[in-house]
A and B are shown apart, each in its own frame.
Chain A
């Protein structure tokens, strides 16, 4: 452990794993509570309790493994399991934290998001909330994809190239797991890396068409006149979002992950650097994703504002004619 990079790498992982385990709970706690009724408050409390219990269990498992692996070499499966405990982030986040956040943020509920920005002016000049008129376009948005064939080909091609690159290492000899020296890779490590990468990228590609389709189906309520400008704003926003989502999830993430895994199996002597570069690169990708999400939300808010202006104009016009 005299290797400074090794010490630094271990220290990074020592901080990284608990951070990943705590992140869902912290995020859920920091989300402002917008519930109004007691029943909703009860739902939040129940979901939050489940999140707290499972986060504590994850920390207990991590702490237990830490104590058990203090004296064990890096190649030991228990040490590997301890390092990979960060994977528990995904069930904690998607299974437990997201339901809490959704329950706390009433604005995110489908019923509310679907009706937000929908014209609610009175068609008879009566005071709000008079007759509610809702208008929608009859254009099938799923046919209006901004993605070209070359983009799909590039994404799939790069993912396959990464798999092939990792798999090619199998053509060369491996060191024995029991007598593994630093800078060597065993068959077990290579097979594990190859299968994890293939599963990750495979599931990523399995969900990409679905997530893109969902982006097409995001509510785009129109004003009563079906303003062309509003429709164009929605269209631009949707196309931009789909393109960014595709490049992020189907190109950048698989390529970055593939490069890291390939580096790990081909040049194991720089194993510690993989961890550092991977953590920094992964964080940068995450930050880029976050910025992308915020920009898209801001754009969506501008569209909603424009729509409410149109609705207000239409409402005034109707009041004047009645």
Chain B
């Protein structure tokens, strides 16, 4: 199941990409699973075909999906193709994590609460 919000400030394509990445990361979608055709997903969500097609393409470029003739779009990997060297990749993820933790601090959460949040996410993503 995939959910998007039309009122969010995040573009629909990015929401779709994030949702699909989350489903792959948490094991809800595993290698060999079929994704719905672009038209089906676009019809069900009531969004433009191109938005879904672009989201699929982004994940295909990242090495998570591929198109198989006669079958459609299939999950082929649960790990993204590295965007750069390992060090650069680590730096990029740390930056995202840093920004999220900064958000948490500015929003008034304590250190222990932030730790609990991270623990919960680790539990959800790695141990589900």
Contacts and interface: CB of A to CB of B under 8 A. Distances in A.
Interface string A211-222: 000001111111
Pick the most buried of A134, A218, A220, A224: most chain B CB atoms within 10 A of its CB: A134
A115 B72 CA distance: 25
Contact of B5 (A131, A136, A218, A219): A131
A132 B34 contact: no
A155 B7 CA distance: 48
A222 B77 CA distance: 27
B43 interface: yes
B4 A138 contact: no
Contacts of A226: 1
Contacts of A220: 43-44
A37 interface: no
A26 interface: no
B36 A139 contact: yes
Contact of A219 (B7, B29, B44): B44
Chain A binding surface SS class: loop
Interface stretch (A140-148, A165-173, A202-210): A140-148
Nearest to B1: A226
B55 to A, nearest CB: 13
B125 interface: no
A140 B46 contact: no
A134 B45 CA distance: 6
A142 B40 contact: yes
Interface residues on B, range: 20 to 34
B5 A135 contact: no
Contacts of A130: 7
Given A134-B45, A221-B45, A140 B5 contact: no
Interface residues on A, range: 20 to 34
A134 B72 contact: no
Nearest to A130: B7
B9 to A, nearest CB: 11
B35 A138 contact: yes
Contacts of B46: 111, 114-115, 118, 134, 219, 221
B1 A142 contact: no
A123 interface: yes
Nearest to A117: B46
Nearest to A214: B39
A137 interface: yes
B44 A222 contact: yes
Contacts of A291: none
Interface in B1-24: 1-8, 23
B36 A137 contact: yes
Nearest to A134: B45
A133 interface: yes
A142 B35 CA distance: 11
Interface string A95-134: 0000000000000000100110010000100000011111
Contacts of B1: 135-138, 222, 226
B41 interface: yes
Interface in A216-249: 216-222, 224, 226
B108 to A, nearest CB: 19
Contacts of A138: 1-2, 23, 29, 35-36, 41
In the A-B complex, the 6 residue pairs with the closest CB atoms? A131-B7, A136-B44, A132-B6, A114-B46, A219-B43, A226-B1
Given A123-B5, A216-B40, A221-B45, 8 more contacts: A114-B42, A114-B46, A131-B5, A132-B5, A135-B1, A135-B45, A138-B35, A218-B43
22 contacts: A111-B46, A123-B5, A134-B3, A134-B44, A135-B3, A136-B36, A136-B45, A137-B1, A137-B2, A138-B41, A140-B34, A140-B36, A140-B40, A140-B72, A141-B36, A141-B40, A142-B37, A143-B34, A217-B39, A220-B44, A222-B44, A224-B3
